[in-house]
């Protein structure tokens, strides 16, 4: 193996790794970027498509929540457990009465849309997640999250999130190591210049979307939550226990709802309690126009009223209300959240395109499309510069490029790779696969070259 300077060795390793990320992970990042762009671009389309269910032209005073829920109970036959109420507090908006339906998937609820003034049933459909998205965006979200393949498909999005930040930082580092000292005007450098310019422009976005995307992932997400718990960065949750210590909080609660395993309540609460609990929450300062009321799972627990307005300024305060006395027994304020919990909240909401409304959407649409262009342009660069025949030089493999590093570089890079692989298992497994594929490809090319030379 030929020797090279440390700078050249690092450049060779970065180039080879960046190539493999682009070749094998690039398509998954492309799909995630394109489907994510569709997701943030369709709220207005969803509002238009489901306008009859979401909005009403009725004028007048809203009827009590008890009456609205009673109408929804007639629609469901009273056989489903009521999960939550999202009152229509803004003129022209309907109330959502959401039920747990065993026929639906986790995090899905059956929602009955009620006109709060006329008590007309305006819609009956499935809603998904904390954001309460409707069927159109739910399909796009499933595509973005798992390619419509369920939990198995979530490997793809975790793979994309795990590697995107490495591709971004590695590409910038590769540019530093390989940029020409003077401007060169040729076709390849001009093509490379566009790829680099897009990389610099999208760098912060790729880092942000990798970080927020990993919080939703199956394996890396659990490790992120453990880190957040140890650093006291978890989102505060209200204590709903009326007697005894607080129950352990699911660290993923803000991202999903495993309601299928929730115990059934001992008895159905008086519907009038919903109005009383809402008044108690309003008196305690819960004043957002987007609220969710959740009845207690058991008689020993309090009800919760949570602000769910994720726009700017963020309103996500919550209170726990004792249904027997209609007094607030616990509360959380967004203003009191730890800084990292606030940043997580803002990062997730920005990722979903809701933090700053339409400007947020436009920025994400531009980002997603530019990322797709950068990936396609990277493939074009590779195709134009690809070797006509497979190279058999072992120095071009990941393993040999790593061996060419100085001893200290090998130790540090190996330690970092192992640590990142443990933190992000999908990234670690795929990195090992890259090395194996590279070695097998080199072995096959070497045998073919040897066979040709002996003919």
- Digit-by-digit pLDDT tens for the chain (455 residues) are 456 788 888 998 999 999 999 999 999 999 999 999 999 999 999 999 999 999 999 999 999 999 999 999 999 999 999 999 999 999 999 999 999 999 999 899 999 999 999 999 999 999 998 889 999 999 999 999 999 999 999 999 999 999 999 999 999 999 988 876 666 666 666 678 889 999 999 999 999 999 999 999 999 999 999 989 998 888 999 999 997 655 545 444 444 443 444 444 445 789 999 999 999 999 999 999 999 999 998 889 999 999 999 999 999 999 999 999 999 999 999 999 999 999 999 999 999 999 999 999 999 999 999 999 999 999 998 888 776 655 556 557 888 889 999 999 999 999 999 999 999 999 999 999 999 988 888 887 777 777 777 76
What is the DSSP-derived secondary structure letter of residue 24? I
User: How would you classify residue 314: left for phi > 0, otherwise alpha for psi between -120 and 50, otherwise beta?
Assistant: beta
DSSP state letters, 225-253: HHHHHHTT-SPP----BSSSSPPPPPTTT
323 near 296, Cβ under 8 Å?
Answer: yes
Q: Are 275 and 64 in contact (CB under 8 A)?
A: yes
In this prediction the pTM is 0.89
**Residue 359 near residue 351, CB atoms below 8 Å:** no
Token pair, residue 86, equals: 């999202």
């Amino acid at each position: 193996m030929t020797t090279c300077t440390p700078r050249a060795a690092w450049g060779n390793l970065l180039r080879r790794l960046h190539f493999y990320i682009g070749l094998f992970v690039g398509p998954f990042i492309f799909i995630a970027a394109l489907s994510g762009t569709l997701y943030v671009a369709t709220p207005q389309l969803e509002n238009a498509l489901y306008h009859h269910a979401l909005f009403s032209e009725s004028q007048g005073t809203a009827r009590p929540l008890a009456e609205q829920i009673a109408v929804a109970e007639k629609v469901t036959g009273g056989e489903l457990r009521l999960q939550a109420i999202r009152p229509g507090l803004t003129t022209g908006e309907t109330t959502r009465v959401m039920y747990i339906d065993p026929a639906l998937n986790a995090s899905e609820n059956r929602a009955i849309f009620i006109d709060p003034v006329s008590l007309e049933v305006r819609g009956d459909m499935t809603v998904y997640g904390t954001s309460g998205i409707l069927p159109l965006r739910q399909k796009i979200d499933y595509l973005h999250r798992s390619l419509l393949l369920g939990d198995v498909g979530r490997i793809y999005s975790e793979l994309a999130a795990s590697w995107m930040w490495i591709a971004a930082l590695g590409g910038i580092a590769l540019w530093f190591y390989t940029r020409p000292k003077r401007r060169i005007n040729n076709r390849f450098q001009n093509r490379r210049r566009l790829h680099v310019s897009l990389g610099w422009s999208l760098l912060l976005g790729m880092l942000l979307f990798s970080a927020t995307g990993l919080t939703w992932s199956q394996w890396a997400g659990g490790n992120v939550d453990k880190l957040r718990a140890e650093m006291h960065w978890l989102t505060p949750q209200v204590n709903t226990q009326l007697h005894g210590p607080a129950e352990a909080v699911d660290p993923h609660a803000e991202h999903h709802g495993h309601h299928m395993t929730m115990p059934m309540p001992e008895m159905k609460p008086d519907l009038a309690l919903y109005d009383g609990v809402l008044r108690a929450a309003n008196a305690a300062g819960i004043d957002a126009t987007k609220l969710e009321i959740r009845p207690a799972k058991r008689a020993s627990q309090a009800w919760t009223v949570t602000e769910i307005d994720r726009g700017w300024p963020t309103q996500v305060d919550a209170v726990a209300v004792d249904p027997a006395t209609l007094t607030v027994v616990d509360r959380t304020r967004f203003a009191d959240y730890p800084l990292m919990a606030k940043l997580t909240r803002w990062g997730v909401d920005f990722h979903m395109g809701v933090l700053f409304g339409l400007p947020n959407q436009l920025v994400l649409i531009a980002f997603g499309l530019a990322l797709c262009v950068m990936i396609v342009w990277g493939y074009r660069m590779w195709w134009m510069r690809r070797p006509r025949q497979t190279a058999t030089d072992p120095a071009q493999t990941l393993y040999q490029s790593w061996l060419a590093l100085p001893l200290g570089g090998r130790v540090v890079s190996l330690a970092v790779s192992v640590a990142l692989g443990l933190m992000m298992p999908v990234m670690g497994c795929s990195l090992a696969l890259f090395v194996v594929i590279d070695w097998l490809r080199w072995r096959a090319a070497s045998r073919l070259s040897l066979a040709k030379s002996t003919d």
